[in-house]
Structure 1
Amino acid sequence: MQLKAALAALLPASAVATIKIPISKLPREEFTAKLLTAGSHKPPTLMSAKSSSSVRGASATSRKLGGENIVIRDLGNAQYYGSVQIGTPAQSFQVVFDTGSADFWVPSAACTKHESNCHKKQAYDPSASTSYAAVEAGAKSEFHIEYGSGPVSGDFATDTVRLADDYDVEDQTFAIVSHTTGLGETYKVASFDGILGLAFPILSQNPDAPTVMKNLMEQDSSITLHMFGFFLGDEANGELTIGGYDESRISGEITWVDLLMPTYWVAPIDSVKWGTQTLSDGTSSGIMDTGTSLIYAPAAIATAMANSLGGMFYPQVQLYLIDCDTPVPDLDFIVGGKAITIPSEDLVLQDDSGEFCFFTISSMNFGSQESTGELADEVVEQITQLAGTSGLPVPDGMDTWLLGDTLLRQIYTVWDVDQEKFGFADLA
């Protein structure tokens, strides 16, 4: 794959194919209302394999090329979703493109009939697709994943998946889910049907089955670069580019860092600075997650930050209430020697009454026995073997931040699967 990427980098831009997917964003008022709905917001949890069964479920010279379009909308300023088609003839679904997970699932008719939060979703009908097939004998057939909010389960199958109008991925393994109770009311009001994970296969509930991205690369010779780029518009349209990145979106050079390990998109952080304070210096890592809206810090750091603002924790929304007049410093993450700055105004949410403000840094929980954010035991074992230490996808002694769209919309991001690198650049 490295040779493939190197050769592709030598080609003119017109010879490198990409799929370009426009994205848009919920109005800030609608996002705030959903986030501050009691019971709808649950902080993610990563767990050490030592304490339980653990964790949820391009080279710099590469170039971009114009391609097909898929209309995508952003749910809750965090979940960017768009149309994906499955089957022959095609059945259309809205799916979240999520760098924090690696599975692809859509609802079944049983889900829309029996699950209260699934009634209005688009259901996949295997009997209506001539390209549908059950998984091969001996392959994993049952699907079960735990997200931070709860379980989703169903059965694996295979069918043709289409991205945009011209990119078919044949015999793609995906899950047809029948149980979505664990996603709660958030899923009921969401505009997406399913999730298409963009993390590494080791996080998948079926790591022996290639992901959509991997199959696309292997089946379509015009897609020569196994990478993608995200521009997350802030009150403006954005774009997901598959097969490269969009040079017109960036200013200056791309800063690249090697991933700590190819599980989540987890990158080393040089330091974290909050105003004049240094919160972390060379001992942090960041999970880059397009499926998460806010920033989640290690619990001790989040608590200290909130206390310095006079914050009061509201368990109903899992956020700290602060005085709207409290000055909040900018937050800087130094990654690869370059600062990613989150301005103070993006660290505060104000409710629709205008009377209450909430600090948008929440706690990332680690090691809690009560956690619902767990992967299957075999996935944890694989991560443990890869890391050589614990089930967490970072070296021992490092704390971990979960960096969602609050950070990712400040920059253009490039996700290089082949080279296991994360890149970012200033926005044009």
Structure 2
Amino acid sequence: MLSLIHLSFLLFVGQTIGIPRGSPDNDFGQDQNRSTLVLAPTPLRAIPRGFKTPLPFDEDIFDPTHVSNEITRVLSKYEGAADHLAGITLSTSAVLTPNVSIPLPDVLRSNVMPLTGHFNRNLDLLYFGEVRVGTPVQSLTVQVDTGSADLWVPANCPKCAGKQFKPGQSRTYQRREGTFEEYYGRGHVSGTIASDIVSISGLYVEDQVFGAVTEKSEEFSRDPNNGLLGLAFKDIARTDQPTFFENLVEKKRILPLFSVHLTRRQKDGSELCFGCSDETKTIGDTVWVPLLSRSYWAIFMNGISVNESRTIDTSLVAAIDTGTSLIYVPDSVADDFYAQIPGSRKVTQFGPNFYSYPCAWDIAPSLTFNDHRFTLDLKDFNLGRTGYGSQDCVGGIMALGDLGDKLAIIGAEFVKSWYTTFDYAETGRIGFSPSINQRG
């Protein structure tokens, strides 16, 4: 029988033994012989020497679950992008409309849709707000997504806010011909095409077409929101009908633009501003970039860099997508980017899309759109350490995989640093202003 002394010794050893991490398929940078250990869980309040993080220790460890699911969703979401973006000429071009700042007068404050941030550890997962549908009205919550163009909500949601229904009673919207179905990798929703009055923050469309969803996969059932509000262009809509925003513009109920402010790891404070741009959420001038296409909110991305000393030239169509958390670029671009950071490598235990870099490096990742450089906040790029005791962190720029070598997806990781205005007028443009998040 073990004595208490022997048992205590074994427990101590079990807490401190390092578990060697498998060697990666590819190493980047100069420090290719460095050995990294993933330690067994550290006792509470015992923070390893050398950790420099504003986050609680447990939140500083990367959890790949959400990102792995998002990669599958992104591949499915953009599988038809090549057809919509075919024939685009990739080059810098002038923005013909002047640089102007659109203030938010009191009369427009009712146009603001407050958004709730949903996050896990140090990763912001999605942002959603309230939409009111039907007569009698039911209040539902929808994720705000500039990377798609359909509105869909549950056809029957007795647990949702607003009007409650008796057992067995279902929501009936005005029916239209056709079925509605959307796939997001392993997740999917399906139902019928419907139309009814839809309102957001006092703005309304009387006969808005949307998907009335009767079946939703388990993946979506875990999300805090009920549905999704697509804000891209009609050309990529499954229903082939104008979006809620496009209908507001067509009916001349708002100016032809909307703006997005996203907070960092906060439940409250994010917002979507219909027909307006909120100066109180910015700390600098707006830089305008012309659209390449009126399908996705797509612009020309001609560079990526680790710091200001060197920019890697690219020639990409970049879709600005608030419905995606991170930044995804072609595999070759991701390889070239991380090769600029000594000690960086692929992190194959998480999957082929992931890269790590030494946490100690003070880098300033940036993206170049139409010859304008925009720097990311390191708080959003650094997704956390690869394991307990590791000095390697997972980077927020991912390899895109099978979607080709011309497409980049620019998600909330970027928008948190840059207040973004989506201007629908004429040929279209996107404006980027430094967000108030950059103060912190």
TM-score relative to the length of structure 2: 0.69
1:262 matched to which residue of 2? 294
* AA at the equivalent of 1:423: G
SS of alignment partner, residue 94 of structure 1:
strand
In structure 2, the CA distance between the partners of 1:273 and 1:323, relative to structure 1 (3 Å rule), is: closer
**Distance between the aligned counterparts of 1:102 and 1:338, measured in 2?**
27
In structure 2, the CA distance between the partners of 1:250 and 1:39, relative to structure 1 (3 Å rule), is: closer
2:228 matched to which residue of 1? 195
Question: Are positions 1:338 and 2:372 aligned together?
Answer: yes
Q: Is the 8 A contact 1:85 1:92 kept in 2?
A: yes
1:205 matched to which residue of 2? 238
Displacement of 1:39 in angstroms is 5.2
In structure 2, the CA distance between the partners of 1:319 and 1:188, relative to structure 1 (3 Å rule), is: farther
Q: Is the 8 A contact 1:95 1:193 kept in 2?
A: yes
Q: CA RMSD in A?
A: 3.6
In structure 2, the CA distance between the partners of 1:304 and 1:72, relative to structure 1 (3 Å rule), is: same
Residue identity (%):
26
Question: Are positions 1:133 and 2:213 aligned together?
Answer: no
**Distance between the aligned counterparts of 2:66 and 2:362, measured in 1?**
24
In structure 2, the CA distance between the partners of 1:173 and 1:315, relative to structure 1 (3 Å rule), is: farther
1:294 matched to which residue of 2? 326
**Distance between the aligned counterparts of 1:151 and 1:258, measured in 2?**
33
SS of alignment partner, residue 400 of structure 2:
strand
SS of alignment partner, residue 292 of structure 1:
coil
1:225 matched to which residue of 2? 255
1:386 matched to which residue of 2? none
The C-alpha deviation readout for 1:265-320, integer Å capped at 9, x for no partner, is 11112422222442225x22311000111110111122344465432334646653
Displacement of 1:90 in angstroms is 1.2
1:416 matched to which residue of 2? 423
Displacement of 1:248 in angstroms is 2.5
Question: Are positions 1:96 and 2:132 aligned together?
Answer: no
Q: Is the 8 A contact 2:114 2:271 kept in 1?
A: no
TM-score relative to the length of structure 1: 0.71
Q: Is the 8 A contact 1:83 1:92 kept in 2?
A: yes
Larger radius of gyration: 2
* AA at the equivalent of 1:162: S
Displacement of 1:418 in angstroms is 2.0
**Distance between the aligned counterparts of 1:354 and 1:158, measured in 2?**
51
1:377 matched to which residue of 2? none
Which deviates more, 31-40 or 172-181?
Answer: 31-40
**Distance between the aligned counterparts of 1:105 and 1:423, measured in 2?**
27
**Distance between the aligned counterparts of 1:49 and 1:189, measured in 2?**
27
* AA at the equivalent of 1:72: L
**Distance between the aligned counterparts of 1:345 and 1:71, measured in 2?**
23
**Distance between the aligned counterparts of 2:61 and 2:249, measured in 1?**
38
* AA at the equivalent of 2:409: L
In structure 2, the CA distance between the partners of 1:364 and 1:159, relative to structure 1 (3 Å rule), is: same
Question: Are positions 1:146 and 2:146 aligned together?
Answer: no
**Distance between the aligned counterparts of 2:410 and 2:265, measured in 1?**
19
Q: Is the 8 A contact 1:319 1:360 kept in 2?
A: no
* AA at the equivalent of 1:273: S
Question: Are positions 1:65 and 2:75 aligned together?
Answer: no
In structure 2, the CA distance between the partners of 1:142 and 1:226, relative to structure 1 (3 Å rule), is: same
* 2:71 pairs with one of 17, 36, 42: 42
Displacement of 1:41 in angstroms is 3.8
**Distance between the aligned counterparts of 1:30 and 1:411, measured in 2?**
25
**Distance between the aligned counterparts of 1:142 and 1:70, measured in 2?**
29
Specify every segment of 5 or more residues in structure 2 that has no aligned partner in the other structure, as ranges. 1-55, 87-96
Q: Is the 8 A contact 2:233 2:296 kept in 1?
A: yes
In structure 2, the CA distance between the partners of 1:224 and 1:28, relative to structure 1 (3 Å rule), is: farther
Q: Is the 8 A contact 1:107 1:124 kept in 2?
A: no
In structure 2, the CA distance between the partners of 1:253 and 1:197, relative to structure 1 (3 Å rule), is: same
Displacement of 1:229 in angstroms is 0.7
The C-alpha deviation readout for 1:14-66, integer Å capped at 9, x for no partner, is xxxxxxxxxxxxx998797765458534252344788x9999xx874444333
* 2:412 pairs with one of 390, 405, 408: 405
Matched pairs, number? 349
The C-alpha deviation readout for 1:239-287, integer Å capped at 9, x for no partner, is 2110121122233432112111111111112422222442225x22311
Specify every segment of 5 or more residues in structure 1 that has no aligned partner in the other structure, as ranges. 1-26, 113-118, 369-397
SS of alignment partner, residue 332 of structure 2:
helix
Displacement of 1:120 in angstroms is 7.0
In structure 2, the CA distance between the partners of 1:409 and 1:108, relative to structure 1 (3 Å rule), is: same
* AA at the equivalent of 1:211: T
Which deviates more, 344-353 or 86-95?
Answer: 344-353
Q: Is the 8 A contact 1:59 1:416 kept in 2?
A: no
Q: Is the 8 A contact 2:113 2:273 kept in 1?
A: no
